[in-house]
Structures are given as structure tokens and as C-alpha cells.
Structure 1
Amino acid sequence: MKIVTLIKYVPDATGDRGFADDGTVDREDTDGVLSELDEYAVEQALQIADDGDDVEVVALTLGPDDAEIAVKRALQMGADSGVHINDEAVHGSDALATSAILAAAITKIGPDLVIAGMASTDGTMGVVPAMISERLGWPAATFGATLAVDGSTATIRRDGDVASQTVEVSLPAVVSVTDQSGEARYPSMKGILAAKKKSVEEWELDDLEVDGEVGLSAAWTTVQETAPKPPKEAGKQVTDSDGSGAAALTDFLSAGKYL
């Protein structure tokens, strides 16, 4: 069995983030990491590999030069190989174009199963796995709190607010998993050293048969204006020198509808 895990290089949420002049995320001057939610997808693929024989895990990413950091992380966790789609023409691609590019790459790799995180931590849309399944003509089982693969069938449990659903799909299929699926493993020293010898292929658009236009000019949405987040304002301080503090605090909570 061959499994493709979709991973994304995203800005580090703990650092400063900004935008470039064209309205896209400034990735050159922003530190990035493998999206935390994608680590759960890698973990689920590795668990399937741990439990079965002859299972190959391929980490697939689309992004600029620094996106190789995300691939290396997946390889250190235990993925067997990586594919990095790196082409300046994809800069500014929206979810629709991204799904078209990834679907073309998946077709070229030829997996039995595609596993993705529930969303990327920078875009948080969560729509790309379903879009990819539509383009491939494969069934999709998304937002799985659990994932089990038995022969030619994948089964997830999708948890809602008041009930859970069991969704079963036949392979090949596209699956996405949530952060409830299981804590992702940390790379061991052995895994870090082994990752240096693993294969990472770099593809351009010319290496793929992409259906449709890509890039910022083809995006269905346009960023009109960006502005930095305003600095935090000092909180309101209530003094109680004359015994009126309790009333002032109550008025504040009532005005903010916190009561």
C-alpha cells in the first residue's frame, strides 16, 4: 500500500507574521514550520505503516523553497520519501488551484490512500481534501477523530456536538483527520539521521498535468488591503479607596455583557 500525506509549510504561530505587497503572506521574512494539524495526518499514516507490511508513506507538499523544512520534518517522523512541488508560477494560488496541483501530483504518485490534516493552521479552510477527492473522482471521509484501514476499506469516526458518525469508504480514497486522532510522535535521533538519506523529489508545474489556471492572477478572491494588528490596550483599572469598587466592577461586567 502507498499512502500520500498532504503537508503544508506555514508561518510559525508564535512569531510575527505579515503580508507582502501583493496581499499574500510574507513567507520570506517569516519563520515557518510544518503545520501542526498536518502532523496528525503523518502520524496516522505512520501508524498504518507500523501495523502493516509493505506500506510506503510519501509526504507531499506545495510551496516555496523553505517548504522543504516541512518535508524534512515528516521524513524525520518516519515517512519514507517526500515530494516538493516548487514553482514560482503557483505563488498566490487559492484553494481551488491548490487542489488542482495536488490532485495532479497525487495522480502521478499513484497512492492507494491520501491522508490530510483537518485544515492548515494559516488558512483554516479545511476544504482542500474534499476538492481533491472531487478532482480525482475518489470517495472522501473528512474530519475523522479516528482512522482505521482494513484491506481495501478506510473507516473514520466523525464527532459532532451531539453525536458521532461512522464513515466507511473504499480505497483509493481521500481522508482528513482531526487533532483528536492521536498525538503525533516526535522525531527520534535515529529518525533524524535516517531522514538525511531519504529521497525528496522536487517537481515543477511542467512535471504535472494540471487542470486549470494557477497563481495569484487566477485566484477567485483578492486581498484589497492589509494592516498590522493593533497593539494591546491597557486594561481598565478599578480602585476601591472609597468602597465603590464592587459597583464599578459590576457596571463594567454588565456593560460588556459578561454577566
Structure 2
Amino acid sequence: MAKVPNLFEDLKSCYSENEEYASALDHLSLDQKSFYDTSYGPLDKSCLDECESLNISETSEASNLTFEENLVVVSTSAHGKVLKKRRVNLNQNTTSEDLEAVDSDLEEEIIKPRSAPYSLQNEMRFRYLKILKKEFVLTDSIHQNIIRDSTGQHLRARAITDLSHEVKFDMGGYISATDQSTNPVTLRISKTRLFVCAQEEDQPVLLKEMPETPRVITGNDLNLIFFWETERSRNFFRSAVNSELYLATKVNSEVFMAKAPTYMKDFLIS
């Protein structure tokens, strides 16, 4: 009669073999140093808010990482103040240079809009029309003549008796395609290429030499344009670059740019 095999004996044999194999693996794992070094010292509190920069030598310059979710990077100061909060877009390829830039940027730059004059914001453009007045004399409200100063680069208001020092001007008329309500002009010393050029507030105007009468004025040359305004016999010249500033004078001083009505800003044309 055939002997019936004892299934429990076979199972016991298998278990014994597996136990020996597992024991051998445990012994091997104890003898072999782990790939990951898990012995860490306690983290210093001063390092909690610091970011450690990536070592370029340890990262591949050609490596590409694709984020499956948005990543928000936050840096804080020792007092808990948030200095930077940056979000990395979904599914964008990120190189080691990108990660280094995020880490090294300690404080996010705040971009503030720059204030620009109304005329520059609308890209004003003026086209030459014709000479409106030729070889006239400018005097201010206390009858000081507008003449060239000793350097020849600025204008000065001064009472004169010697007419040889008298300076005459030409007024060139221009037209604006965007604003028909103003009267844009240039002021040039007659028989020269020197044009009156507006500057910042309280700064003396300059005499700017141009190769010829500009046919189109825009961009950096807009400070050659003044808006000519009249009230009875008085004439005002307002800057096109800064509509708050006018040609102005003081007693025996350089002609400069000022806000009304701080100084004398009205002129007589003769």
C-alpha cells in the first residue's frame, strides 16, 4: 500500500528553509553598510529659516525636472516674517540653474510702476507746421530782457540798457495728431540752431543745438516743445514733457522751469 505523504512535514521543511534564508539575509543586512546614512545629529535652531544652496558640482547641468503639481517656495526670517513666496508653474522643465536662482533670491523683488508724464505715456508726436513769429524779443513781467548768459548755454533774465546784448527769438509752430486743443511751439534763438530745452523743476533751461529745424519731434526731443498759452498781452510757455512746469524768471537770474504761480511765468513778446 502506497504511503500517504505528510503535508505538514513538507510545510515544516519549507518553513525551515525560508527561515534559514531570511536569517541569512538579516545577517547580510547587518554586516553590510546601508546605502543611506541615517545617522543625523540634532538640527540647529538657527538653521531652521536658512536655505542651503545647491552644490552645482553635485547636480547635473543638463538635468530636467518636471513638476506634476505646483511648488510653493517660502523663505522666512528669524522673526517669522515671510520674505519670499514663489510658485513654480505646472509641468515646466526646471534645470539646476532655476533651482539655484530660487534658492539664492532671498527677497522677492517688488516691481512698482514708474510714474511717467502724461505726454510720454501717450507717445506724443509733433509735426512741423511753420514759423509763427520771427525775430521777437522776450521780456518778463518786470521788464527784464531774456538774454544768453556768459556761458552761452543758458538764458538769463536781466534789465539791460545796451541793446547789443538783446537776444531775438523765432517761434516755430507744430501740430499734434492726438491733441488739437494745445498750441505746441519751439523757441529758437534767431539765426542760430540753438533751441530752448526744458529741464526738471527749478533747473535752468538749456540751449540745445540741433542740426536743423526738426520736422517731427517725439521721444527724447519732446523737451523742445512748449505749449504756448496767452492771456491778453501775457504769454505763457508750458512744458510738453511736464505739464505742471512753465518757463519762469526771478530777479537777475537764469530762466528756469517752475510750477505756477510761485515765480514770474508770464512774458511779453515785442
Alignment TM-score > 0.5, same fold: no
Instruction: Give the TM-score, by structure 2 length.
Output: 0.21
> Which has the larger strand fraction?
2
Instruction: Give the TM-score, by structure 1 length.
Output: 0.22
Structure with bigger gyration radius: 2
> Which has the larger helix fraction?
1
Which of structures 1 and 2 has the larger relative contact order (alpha carbons within 8 angstroms, sep 6+)?
1
